[in-house]
Amino acid sequence: MEVKLADLGKNIEKAVLTFWFVKEGDIVEKGADLVEISTDKAVFTVPAPEKGKVVEINIEEGTDILPSDVLCVIK
């Protein structure tokens, strides 16, 4: 499953991936924090949408991201 950033809402145009809580190969439970995202208005985490193994991390820490970006893949 591809994990993407949720819609940031109105008036938020930019987000930065600030920290990964997991690495490739980690097993995660549904709801576990995967990554920390910061915007000019808030800092929040993206949870795992399902239980599985993180098989691919696509975005490095410190990178600007958009809602269409695939952050990681869980299988």
The predicted-structure confidence for 6-17, as pLDDT tens digits, reads as follows 776 677 778 999
Q: Say whether 26 sits in a helix, a strand or coil.
A: coil
- The answer to whether residues 36 and 43 touch, using CB atoms and an 8 Å cutoff, is yes
| Residue extents of the structural domains in the chain | 2-74
Q: What is the pTM of this model?
A: 0.88
CATH class, 2-74 region: mainly beta
- Reported as a single tens digit per residue, the pLDDT across 33-63 is 999 999 888 899 999 999 999 999 999 999 9
Where does the pLDDT of residue 65 fall: very low under 50, low under 70, confident under 90, or very high at 90 and above? very high
Residue 73 has pLDDT above 90, yes or no: yes
- The answer to whether residues 30 and 48 touch, using CB atoms and an 8 Å cutoff, is yes
Q: Residue 25's Cα: distance from chain center in Å?
A: 16
